[in-house]
């Protein structure tokens, strides 16, 4: 994955570099270095990011805001959320796909957090 594509994926998902680091539990400097091309992007990490970007890509700017406020990027889903306009069935399905994608893979495979804990094995 190129640094340009990395930044495009973050934009599609609606994450800033700092926000991505917070969600991944890593140093913001590491995300910044990947975004600037000074640190290689592991193929598994790039593939994970591409999958998330693909489910976010069809969303309109309004639905991207809804996804963020509803917690879809944390794998959370509510069919009738408070504080936003009613969703059509098609919009609800798109937001559900986003939430499901994030819930299925909250972190990249084998991701090691800043605290040294590897995702999925409890160590």
Please state the domain extents for the chain: 3-104
Ranges under pLDDT 50 in the chain? 117-123
pLDDT at 105: 86
pLDDT at 121: 37
Give the predicted TM-score (pTM) of the model: 0.82
pLDDT at 74: 85
- Compute the radius of gyration of the chain from its Cα atoms: 15
């Amino acid at each position: 994955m190129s640094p340009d594509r990395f930044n495009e994926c973050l934009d599609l998902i609606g994450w800033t570099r700092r926000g991505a680091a917070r969600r991944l539990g890593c140093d913001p400097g590491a995300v910044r270095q990947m975004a600037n091309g000074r640190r290689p992007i592991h193929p598994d990490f790039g593939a994970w990011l591409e999958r998330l970007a693909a489910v976010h890509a069809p969303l309109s700017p309004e639905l991207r805001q809804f996804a963020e406020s509803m917690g879809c990027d944390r794998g959370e889903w509510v069919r009738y959320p408070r504080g936003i306009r009613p969703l059509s069935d098609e919009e609800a399905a798109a937001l559900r796909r986003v939430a499901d994608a994030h819930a299925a893979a909250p972190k990249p495979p084998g991701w090691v957090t800043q605290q040294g804990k590897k995702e999925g094995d409890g160590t």
